[in-house]
Structure 1
Amino acid sequence: MAQQEALAADLLRGHTDTIVLGVLRGGDRYGFEIFKTIRDATGGAHEIKEATLYATYRRLEKDGLVEAYWGDETQGGRRKYYRITDAGRAVYRSNVATWVATRRVIDSLLNLTETSERGADR
């Protein structure tokens, strides 16, 4: 089981940018709010480390895929918010299309494997 969890984490790690962009498609959010949204979406089964997320925010901002701004201090501590840009939306759509195509190929190969294993069991 631990090996499966490590593999899943490796797969997810490669999609951190897309996951963050996907969260931001729903509206502007501050850093820790993005962390909580990801954690809650998986029922707590997956968390992206905060250090990884903050490195992702910096990279996405540098690449022009998100814009950062400081929120209103009247709502508590000063929070840095992130907003997806048009370029970020385009990258998100492209990455999702690539993922869907990849998943389709992997699903086909796994189904092929299951079919040949059933045949070998007979």
Structure 2
Amino acid sequence: MPITSDILRGHTETIILSHLIKKDSYGYEINKSIQEKTDNQYELKEATLYTAFRRLEQAGLITSYWGDETTGARRRYYAITDLGRSAYLQNKADWENAKNLIDKLI
């Protein structure tokens, strides 16, 4: 059964940063990874994903660049910045704290 997006709302940017901590990537690859990790129970809508990319880039948490693919469409890659790494670590700590509190409450 697919997970309701309400449960994960507000964590989209942290999910993206988590993927980018491992390697530079592009939108389709990130969304495919999310689907695989959740056994197809969760995926980001394209508009949500690219809106999050814009917010993250404007905040200086990621940068983007065009790939040099020789076949197919050119891809826009995203890379995490040092500020993005710090934000990810803080968001992850905040999530762990919230998760512990929720576990106590329900």
State the TM-score, normalizing by the size of structure 2: 0.93
1:84-95 matched pairs, under 5 angstroms: 84-95=80-91
Work out which of the residue numbers 77, 101, 108 in structure 1 matches 2:104.
108
User: Structure 2: how far apart are the matches of 1:75 and 1:89?
Assistant: 32
Amino acid at match of 2:10: G
Normalising by the residue count of structure 1, what TM-score does the alignment of the two structures yield? 0.81
2:76 aligned residue (74, 77, 80): 80
CA deviations 1:33-61 (Å, max 9, x no partner) are 11111111101110110110000001100
Residues 42-85 of structure 1: CA deviation (Å, up to 9, x unaligned): 01110110110000001100100000000003143110000000
Length, aligned pairs only: 106
Structure number, greater radius of gyration: 1
Alignment of 1:1-122 (within 5 A): 5-6=3-4, 9-110=5-106
Structure 1 position 16, deviation (Å): 0.2
Question: Which ranges of structure 1 fall in alignment gaps of 5 or more residues?
Answer: 111-122
RMSD across aligned positions (CA):
1.5
The answer to which structure, 1 or 2, has the higher relative contact order (CA under 8 A, 6+ apart) is 2
Percent identity between matched residues is: 52
- Gaps of at least 5 residues in structure 2 are none
